[in-house]
A and B are shown apart, each in its own frame.
Chain A
Amino acid sequence: MQLDDLTISRRNLLQGAAASGVLLAFHMPVRAATGPFAPNAFIRIAADNTTTLVMPQVEMGQGTYTSISMILAEELDADFAKVALEHAPPDDKLYANPPFGLQATGNSNSIRAFWTPLRTAGAAARAMLLQAAASQWKVDPATCSAANSMVTHAASGRTIAFGALINDAARLTPPEKPALKDPKNFTLIGKPLKRLDTPEKTNGKAVYGIDVLLPGMKFAAVAQCPVFGGKVAKVDDTATKKIAGVYKIVQLDDAVAVVADTTWTAKKGLAALDITWNEGANAKISSAEIWADLRAASQKDGLVAKHEGDAAKALAQGERIEAAYELPFLAHAPMEPLNCVLQLTKDKCEIWIGTQVMTRVQGTVAQLLNFPLDKVVVHNHLLGGGFGRRLEPDMALLSVRIAQKLDGELEGSPLKVIWSREEDIQHDVYRPVYRDTIAATLRDGKIDAWNYRVTGSSVLARWLPPVFEALKGVDFDAVDSAADMPYDIPNKHVEFTRAEPPAVPTGFWRGVGPNNNVFATECFIDELAKKAGKDPVAFRVSMLDKEPRLKAAVQMAAEKSGWGQALPARVGRGICAQVSFASFIATVVEAEVDEHGEVRLRRITSAVDTGIAVNPDTVIAQLQGGLIFGLTAALWGEITIERGRVQQSNFHDYRMLRIDEVPRIDVHVIKSGEAPGGIGETGANAGPPALRNAIYAATGVALRRLPIDRAALAGKRSA
């Protein structure tokens, strides 16, 4: 009886809480005297004084488990060395990422979005524990303090562990607006603490989705039609059937899978199939055609995202300087290839997966199976990289469709489906192709008019339709870092022309909207600086009076990188300044271009003001990693389409930076008391324009497309 009561009261309370905007500060009654104290969805304290923190965001390398724990433990005054972490179950009501209204991890907003809710949750729990202790001791709670999971009454020298207070505390009503700590009293936040998820990642104990093993498990390998939207015409499985260990060949309308005793047998079985595809109409699509379409679309007017002053008039008055920047399709290629473990029985589907969208996995699977939501149980695991790829539920849906075909003795067997790297790359949701056109005029050495048009796909329109509709088609992601570009320009006009590529599915990719916008803006700023006869750093600084945080970052990055110091021939420095995800970042890349046009990175320096850096070491690591991610793309990244299919397939033709190609990367974190900004994706934005501008400085060649075109650089050197 209690269980039901509990559920009901949870829901009711939640709905009330959600309506009042205080999503997290609700009271969950505790059933048994020995049960843990669970003042909200994030914190559980047990009688033995262990504190379990429930992670509303997923860990994919960005260090969020540690940062979230630091925030909760900070306000709770829990003993950080003893906290235990737990993945949250799927529950949009309890764990939705506030701006999405969905339990999603992305857009570099884990800390931004949860900063206040988590602090409030921690502080509310602490207040209840203090109250409980004070009542026991019959003293004023204001005279009690908490630290390391203990409450102390200094005057009397009494102390009591949180664990001893849980029953009393559970009877209290959580305060709606508990007092939050003054940041200057933070003892955890702002310290470079060791990550909580890394010890198990050094000894093979960490369990990613792909590692889940269940008794009696079968393994599946899958081949989807190489042409987008194509179907299976026929399958000759004679050779596959002869392979020992192959249990079943599953034919779906658009894919074929082999279920076997090991992944290897399944792969072998798949390779032995003779599949004829009905490639359909998309078999004609090629990159050339996609680019022609996009270029044509970029001539069309878009929806206005920003209008200040009169850009048209100003443009008509000065010398009009124009450029167009183009970015290719990119795959995510997380190191852990897509996968899904599941067990499907008549009335229940249990899923083990590492996903950025737990509730979406649960919801779409429930819909596919026509099951009530509570019959789809999703267990979350560590993600071997997300980068936006795991914001899609497709791996779960395809796996469920395969499991649906298991019959006879296999029916209900646990199944692990692993995409080969080739499938992973050829059936991604790709970073869209973009074409950004800019026109500007200069006046007195500064930019007077700025007319900017983004042409590309709207990921948001597919991924979060209600928001897209509410925005009336002006996709905030597509114009992110363009509509709000940081430079002080009197006449600005920014618009978005939506153009969806035929057949090729597009999705969020680390860096999201700012990817193309920071690139185009920062490349063009360098070209304008040259026109104005100014140094790129000085030019930027002259237009950043209204953005002091960015200005300071630019100045620091310039200083730390040795900006202005002489360089050898064919070596250049390039800068990128950006405000994205509410962080202020300047990055200087120093690179060398050899006589064949090959580019070598020599040094990278970033300065970042991300507000309060919850864990500064994580901020540094995220920028280092993000820079490498972005630079990899700038140097080599491009997915091309021919005859309706992706031409790249694995790391031999979709190239990754390797350790010997990566120089020192120095990241300087600027101390700040502002609210935390996002960081995980910023490096991916910063790397490409900074590198391109370094090449521009080294060779005088103004590249306007990525990846870098070696042929255009061969034999070139700066005048």
Chain B
Amino acid sequence: MRRTLLTIVAILVVIAGAVALWFLSAPGPLSFAGGNKVALASYKDGKPTGVPAELQQASIEKRGEYLAQAADCMVCHTAPGGKEYTGGFAFKLPFGTLYSTNITPDKETGIGNYSDAEFLAAMHRGVRRDGARLYPAMPYNSYTYVTDEDALAIKAYLFSLPPVKAPARTNTLAFPFNQRWGMAFWSAFFNEDVRFQPVADKSADWNRGAYLAEALAHCGDCHTPRNLAFALDNRKKFAGTVSAGWYAYNITTDKGAGIGAWTDEALLSYLSTGHAPGHGTASGPMGEAVDHSFSKLAASDVRALVAYLRSVPAKPSSDLPSTLAGVAATSHRQGPDNGRGKQIFAGACASCHDWSGVSAITPTATLTGARAVNDPGGTNVVQVILTGMQRPNGLVSMPSFGSIYSDADVAALANYVTARFGSKGSTLTAKDVAKLRQQTAQ
């Protein structure tokens, strides 16, 4: 009896140790690159941090604005229809909902009382002014790489905004996740608390790209799968995962599932306009990232990002096909027919997307070649149907159909669209759609 107990305890200890070791030995975001990390000051080829050349003489607020855009602060700190930077955006997690907070300089409800040191503690270590721990929905595991200089420029920019009174919404996390102190342990494991260090033998472009991607744009937060402890698993860096109800696709250099086969022009175009001919159009969180962040970056910075992405090792995705379907038939008669899905497509979709998938109206509505329609999971197709796609320029937009079609209808439509325009149709049910709806509902 005692022995059994001891054995069990021993086994548990060993497992715990192994897990801890596995976590602790987990690679960092730049581990794949190898090479020689050096202090910023000793990197010879220029300065990979800060703002692009054309902004170097600008005021600190202007520089901060650029960096805040590169870090995409606004999207998460703005509720749909709400005032910019006033928070209230909901993060739906398996264990409850978190709301972002007001980061306007309002003294009462915003960050107006933050000192420089307090701001840095929040950015780098996820520690709030009152000492409480932030949840990693705030990507401080990435922002920790942002230099003090850049972080304080962002602060200066935020402090130049009009203060808006907007009290935080109450999170609805279940126990034990509502215990913020627990995050101290999480941070100890997963938050390196170090600033960006360039790799000496990599080009300036690459290092700039690495800084943009890892410190500011925090690409991995969506595109890298997470481990059991909700930390990024860089063993599968950028290999794609579903996060917040959307599939953030594989952006490794894998030729099939990733972006290895994309041309530089395609990548540049996708990042700066949200669309690349033959590759579909960014929607959901990536669409927002393009609208509010990538599209505002200097061309040199977008090029740097592309250079960096090109170096990330290929990882296959077992759930994505390695070849994309070509143009569908022009006649409705050819191709699949699942009844309801086809019927909805005829009424609400065909006028813009065409039966062939090649839009007669705008290339941005062309479905051929889009990863979403070639994902047999159908996740993003469902989300786009539900929430539509609004671009700030108002020119390219797709209305949201979530309120008029039932879960069963949306499932049928998504299954039809993926079967008609993708390489393998999805088999979503009404229940699947209900779940996806839940995850993105604000």
Partner pick for A660 among B346, B403, B404, CB 8 A cutoff: B346
Q: How far apart are the CA atoms of A652 and B348 in the complex, in Å? A: 8
| Interface pick from B8-16, B265-273, B393-401 | B393-401
The chain A residue with its CB closest to the CB of B342 is A660
Cβ contacts under 8 Å, B430 to chain A = 596
Q: Does B343 have its Cβ within 8 Å of any Cβ on chain A?
A: yes
Bound-complex Cα distance A161 to B403 (A): 63
Any chain A CB within 8 A of the CB of B193?
Answer: no
Which of A596, A598, A653 sits near B399, CB closer than 8 Å?
A653
Q: Please tell me if A184 contacts chain B, counting CB pairs below 8 Å.
A: no
Please tell me if B347 contacts chain A, counting CB pairs below 8 Å: yes
Q: Is residue B60 contacting chain A, with contact meaning CB distance below 8 A?
A: no
Q: In the complex, what distance in Å separates the CA atom of A441 from the CA atom of B406?
A: 38
Residue of B nearest to A647 (CB): B403
Q: Give complex CA distance A655, B404 in Å.
A: 6
Instruction: Tell me how far the C-beta of B2 lies from the nearest C-beta in chain A, rounded to whole angstroms.
Output: 55
Tell me which residues from 262 to 301 in chain A have a Cβ below 8 Å from any Cβ of chain B: 268, 271
With A652-B388, A653-B399 in contact, is A268–B404 under 8 Å at CB? no
Q: Is A710 close to B, CB under 8 A?
A: yes
User: Within 8 Å of chain A (Cβ to Cβ): is B409?
Assistant: yes
Determine if A652 and B400 form an interchain contact, defined as CB atoms under 8 angstroms apart.
yes
- B251: min CB distance to chain A, Å: 31
Do the beta carbons of B404 and A636 come within 8 Å of each other?
yes
What residues of B have a CB within 8 angstroms of the CB of A597 in the complex? 406
B80-124 near A? 1/0 per residue, CB < 8 Å? 000000000000000000000000000000000000000000000
Point out the residues of chain A lying under 8 angstroms from B388, CB to CB. Answer: 652
Which residues of chain B from 410 to 442 have a CB within 8 Å of any chain A CB? 430
Check if A653 sits within 8 Å of B400, measured CB to CB.
yes
Q: Within 8 Å of chain A (Cβ to Cβ): is B30?
A: no
* Docked complex Cα distance between A441 and B430 (Å): 42
Please name all residues of chain A whose beta carbon is closer than 8 Å to the beta carbon of B406 when the two chains form the complex.
596-598, 710
Q: For B409, what are the chain A residues with a Cβ–Cβ distance below 8 Å? A: 598
Nearest residue in B to A652 (C-beta to C-beta)? B399
What 1/0 mask marks residues of chain B from 324 to 348 whose CB sits below 8 Å from any chain A CB?
A: 0000000000000000100100111
Provide the A625-656 mask, 1 if CB < 8 A to any CB of B, else 0.
00000000000100000000001101011110
A658 in contact (CB, < 8 A)? yes
Give the complex CA separation of A598 and B347 in angstroms. 17
**Proximity string of chain A (695-719) to chain B, C-beta cutoff 8 Å, 1 when within and 0 when not:** 0000000000000001000000000
Is B346 a contact partner of A268 (Cβ separation < 8 A)?
no
- Complex Cα distance, B258 from A107, in Å, reads 63
Most buried by B among A598, A647, A661: A598
* A653:B343 contact, CB within 8 angstroms: no
Known A596-B406, A596-B408, A598-B406; contact A660-B400, beta-carbon cutoff 8 A: no
B403 is contacted by which of A268, A598, A653 (Cβ under 8 Å)? A653
Contact A598 B408, beta carbon cutoff 8 Å: yes
**Cβ–Cβ contact B394 & A271, under 8 A:** yes
Contact assessment for A268 and B399 in the assembled complex, using a CB-CB cutoff below 8 Å: no
Residues on the A chain within 8 Å of B400, using CB:
652-653
Return chain B residues, CB-CB under 8 Å to A658: 347
A653 touches B404 (CB 8 A): yes
CA–CA, A655 to B407, complex, Å? 16
Question: CA–CA, A597 to B408, complex, Å?
Answer: 10
SS class of chain A's interface: helix, strand, loop or mixed? loop
Nearest CB on B from A442, distance (A): 37
CB contact under 8 A between A652 and B401, given known A271-B394, A660-B346: yes
Q: Which residue of A lies closest to B402 (CB)?
A: A653
Return chain B residues, CB-CB under 8 Å to A652: 348, 388, 399-401, 404
B348 touches A660 (CB 8 A): no
Across chains A and B, the number of contacting residue pairs, with CB separation under 8 Å, is 35
User: Are B394 and A660 touching (Cβ within 8 A)?
Assistant: no
Residues of B near A661 (CB, < 8 A) are 343, 347
What residues of B have a CB within 8 angstroms of the CB of A636 in the complex?
A: 404
Question: Are B401 and A268 in contact, CB atoms less than 8 angstroms apart?
Answer: no
Residues on B with C-beta less than 8 A from A596 are 406-408, 430
Bound-complex Cα distance A458 to B27 (A): 71
User: What mask results when residues 365 to 391 of chain A are scored 1 for a CB within 8 Å of chain B, else 0?
Assistant: 000000000000000000000000000
* Docked-complex contact B399 and A650, CB < 8 angstroms: yes
How close is A549's CB to chain B, nearest CB, in angstroms? 39
A661 to B339, CA, bound (A): 12
Contacts of B407 in A (CB 8 A): 596
Q: In the assembled complex, how far is the CB of residue A360 from the closest CB belonging to chain B, in whole angstroms?
A: 34
**Chain A window 647-681, contacts with chain B (Cβ cutoff 8 Å), 1 for yes, 0 for no:** 11010111100101100000000000000000000
The smallest beta-carbon distance between A598 and chain B, in angstroms, is: 7
CB proximity to B under 8 Å, residues A552-585: none
What sequence of 0s and 1s flags, for each residue 343-370 of chain B, a beta carbon within 8 Å of any chain A beta carbon?
1001110000000000000000000000
B residues 367-400 near A (Cβ < 8 Å) are 388, 394, 399-400
Measured between beta carbons, the chain B residues less than 8 angstroms from A647 are 403
Q: With the chains together, A268 CA to B395 CA distance in Å?
A: 9
CB neighbours (8 Å) of B348 from chain A are 652
Min C-beta distance of B337 to chain A, whole Å: 13
- Rounded to whole angstroms, the CA-CA distance of A596 and B347 in the bound complex is 20
0/1 interface trace, chain A 580-603, chain B, CB 8 Å (1 if under) = 000000000000000011100000
- List, in ascending order, chain B residues with CB within 8 A of A268's CB: 394
| Chain A neighbourhood of B394, CB < 8 A | 268, 271
CA distance A653 to B400 in the complex (A): 8
Q: Which of B388, B394, B403 is packed against the most chain A CB atoms within 10 Å?
A: B403
A201 to B388, CA, bound (A): 34
Check A660/B347 contact, CB under 8 A, given A596-B406, A596-B408, A652-B388.
Answer: yes
Q: Are A660 and B399 CB-contacts (below 8 A) given A596-B430, A598-B408, A636-B404?
A: no
**Cβ–Cβ < 8 Å partners of B340 in chain A:** 598
Determine if A660 and B401 form an interchain contact, defined as CB atoms under 8 angstroms apart. no
CB distance from A591 to the nearest CB of B (A): 16
How near does chain B come to A467, taking the closest CB pair, in angstroms?
Answer: 38
B110 CB to closest chain A CB (Å) equals 19
Most B Cβ at <10 Å: residue of A596, A647, A710: A596
A573 to chain B, nearest CB (A): 23
Q: Are B343 and A660 closer than 8 Å at their CB atoms?
A: yes
Q: Which B residues lie within 8 Å of A648 (CB)?
A: 403
A404 and B198 alpha carbons, distance in the complex (Å)? 64
Bound CA span A268–B393, Å: 9
How far, in whole Å, are A658 and B347 apart by their CA atoms in the complex? Answer: 7
Residue of A nearest to B411 (CB): A596
Write the chain A residue with the least CB distance to B392: A271
Chain B residue numbers with a CB within 8 Å of A271 are 394
Task: Give the docked Cα–Cα distance between A658 and B351 (Å).
Answer: 13
* CB-CB nearest in chain B for A711: B406
Q: How far is the CB of B346 from chain A (nearest CB, A)?
A: 6
**Inside 8 A of B401's CB, which chain A residues have their CB?**
652-653
Q: Which residue of B lies closest to A648 (CB)?
A: B403
Determine the distance from Cα of A588 to Cα of B133 in the docked complex, in whole angstroms.
Answer: 65
* Distance in Å: Cβ of A266 to nearest Cβ of chain B: 13
Chain A residues with CB under 8 Å of B403's CB are 647-648, 653
Q: How far is the CA of A636 from the CA of B401 in the complex (A)?
A: 13
Name B403's closest neighbour in chain A (CB-CB).
A653
Bound Cα distance A163, B346 (Å): 55
In the docked arrangement, what's the CA distance between A655 and B399, Å? Answer: 12
Which A-chain residue is minimally distant from B393 (CB atoms)?
A271
Cβ–Cβ < 8 Å partners of A655 in chain B:
404
* Chain A, range 611-637, C-beta contacts under 8 Å to B: 636
Query: Given A596-B406, A652-B348, A661-B343, 19 more contacts at CB 8 Å?
Result: A268-B394, A271-B394, A596-B408, A596-B430, A597-B406, A598-B409, A647-B403, A648-B403, A652-B388, A652-B399, A652-B400, A652-B404, A653-B399, A653-B401, A653-B403, A653-B404, A655-B404, A660-B347, A710-B406
Shortest 8 CB-CB contacts between residues of A and residues of B: A652-B399, A596-B408, A655-B404, A658-B347, A653-B403, A271-B394, A652-B401, A660-B343
14 pairs from A and B in contact (CB 8 Å cutoff): A596-B406, A596-B407, A598-B340, A598-B409, A647-B403, A648-B403, A650-B399, A652-B400, A652-B401, A652-B404, A653-B404, A654-B404, A660-B343, A661-B347
